[in-house]
A and B are shown apart, each in its own frame.
Chain A
Amino acid sequence: MRDSYEVVIIGGGIIGSAIGFNLLKMGVKDICVIEKSYVSSGSTGRCAGGIRQQWSSPMNVRLAMRSVELFKNFEKDVGMDIEYKQGGYLLLAYTPEEEEDFVKNVEMQRSQGLDVEILSKSQIKSKFGFMNLEGVRIGSWCQSDGHANPQIANIAYSMAIKRMGGDFITHTKVESIDIANKKIVGVQTDRGYIRTNTVVNAAGFESSKIGKMVNVDIPVYGERHQILVTEPVNHFLDPLVINFNHNYYIRQTKHGSLLMGQGDANPMPGEDLGNSIEFLEEMSQKMVRDFPLLRNVHIVRQWSGAYDMSPDAQPIIDESKDLSKFIYATGFSGHGFMLAPAVGESVAEMIVHGKTITMDISNLRMDRFKNHIEIEKNVV
């Protein structure tokens, strides 16, 4: 750790790391990422690793599509195999309302250039005969969706940052941000003071605390989500399956284990990351019903993590109007991993060029909350 950097990124999760990596790629070498614990200790370390483009808001679709482009080259660009696989995403509709939404969404997604289609029940049956499809009306299917290992991706970025000459400082906590004449002049950590004029707040569900340090209100809060993993079984499930109606998602990792989670009926706000046995009970009942072949498979671990929720379940990416060079990329609401490569690129562009180049993400700015809030619905 040196005593001054051009850019200080707070938070060594997937987002902070992606931003750091892209800055270095664009030639900004004098940067550091500050992480209060280990790499992937936040939401990223709890994440299921799904990468999907089938969203209900066009902005999310475009960002995810750009990310997929970047995920395809991840191994070459960043230098590590992150178990990326385009095994598709299957979304299931059970009610007429869901069916209608799916059809509408697919139309919108196709207009954004995404290769996505509606599958009939019998088409689903012939693809995935092992599933119990009772009550299913249609499905929405995108082959280029997929999944990867978020923890390895996070560590891969951190190692690339160090390799490329940036600093990645773990076990160091930002305690305050120093301002003089309405400008950032430095950051105080529990292991020393760092002079800087540019701060990126990528502190995940804790980004509101960083905001408070400089009186910028960031409406992001944590919400507990539980997840479990089974013992490995031989490969049988390519896609990640989302069942909004039965409220779960499931995927099989490269290693063979099945990873699955649900949105709790009453998600616990805050940072308590405890586990509940009801979660195991609910998931087990759903799994044995919808995937009868999982009946005798063993659960080996459960855990929980915080979704980094924003008011409309969409990211907030902006530079503060009141404090220049205070940039934040947060509020990913349970889909920050899949967006990270594109967000890293855009935020790095904002810092280098003063505006984004590759993507127009202006409608992810903070001021959107002054107007009507359009909530992203496709969230589990």
Chain B
Amino acid sequence: MEGRILEHPILNFQRKARVKIFFEGREIEAYEGESVAAALHAAGIRVLRYTPIDGRPAGFFCAVGKCSACLMEIDGIPNVRSCMTKVRDGMQIRRQNKNGDLL
């Protein structure tokens, strides 16, 4: 059960405009106002990067910008906290391998 909640006994989710984002080149469903980590999660993507030392898969942990577990390469820039970055039309998102390349 990945994906978005449509009915909820308390909350009423009204989604904003659809935006096109790309994860590893593949288009992913996303809506304005969502964070990158949230949109990826909705698409069933939990592994956001592989860690630098042991190469272990890692996902988000706090989702509020406090732990740096969710670093990804977004529009060519490494080490971006995907939980605090809102989706933007045309955004290119990649899993980060290790520390991220500057060159």
- Are A236 and B52 in touch, CB under 8 angstroms? no
Give A292-321 as 1s and 0s: 1 = Cβ < 8 Å from B's Cβ atoms: 011011100000000000000000000000
For the complex, is B5 an interface residue (Cβ under 8 Å from A)? no
Do the beta carbons of B79 and A297 come within 8 Å of each other?
Answer: yes
Contact among A130, A232, A296 for B103, CB-based, below 8 A: A130
Q: Which residue on B lies nearest to A300, using beta carbons? A: B68
Within 8 A of B (CB), among A205-234: 231-234
Q: How far is the CA of A232 from the CA of B99 in the complex (A)?
A: 6
B55-103 residues with Cβ-Cβ distance < 8 A to A are 68, 77-80, 98-103
CA distance A130 to B103 in the complex (A): 8
- The answer to whether B77 touches A232 (Cβ under 8 A) is no
Say yes or no: A293 contacts B102, CB within 8 Å: yes
How many Å lie between the Cα of A233 and that of B102 in the bound state?
7
Number of chain B residues close to chain A: CB under 8 A: 12
A58 contacts the other chain (Cβ, under 8 Å)? Answer: no
**Residue count of chain A within 8 Å CB distance of chain B:** 12
CA distance A256 to B98 in the complex (A): 10
Asked whether, in the complex, the Cβ of A256 is within 8 Å of the Cβ of B99, the reply is yes
Q: Is the CB of A231 within 8 A of B79?
A: yes
- What residues on B are CB-neighbors of A233 within 8 Å? 78-79, 99-102
Q: Cα distance A232–B53 when bound, in Å?
A: 11
CB < 8 Å neighbour of A234 from B68, B77, B80, B102: B102
Inter-chain contacts of B78 with A (CB < 8 A): 233, 296
| B101 contact set on A, CB distance < 8 A | 233-234
B99 touches A296 (CB 8 A): no
* Contact across chains for A298 and B79 when beta carbons are under 8 A apart: yes
Q: Which of B52, B102, B103 contacts A297 (CB 8 A)?
A: B102
A9, chain B: closest CB distance, angstroms = 36
Which B residue's beta carbon lies closest to that of A293?
A: B102
Residues of chain B having any CB pair with chain A under 8 Å: 52, 68, 77-80, 98-103
Known: A233-B99, A296-B80. 18 other contacts (CB 8 A): A130-B102, A130-B103, A231-B68, A231-B79, A231-B99, A232-B52, A232-B99, A233-B78, A233-B79, A233-B102, A234-B101, A236-B102, A236-B103, A256-B99, A293-B102, A293-B103, A294-B102, A297-B79
Can you list the 10 inter-chain pairs with the closest CB atoms, starting with the nearest? A293-B102, A232-B99, A296-B77, A233-B99, A256-B99, A234-B99, A234-B101, A233-B102, A231-B79, A233-B100
User: 8 interchain pairs (CB within 8 A)?
Assistant: A231-B99, A232-B52, A233-B79, A233-B102, A256-B52, A293-B102, A296-B79, A298-B79
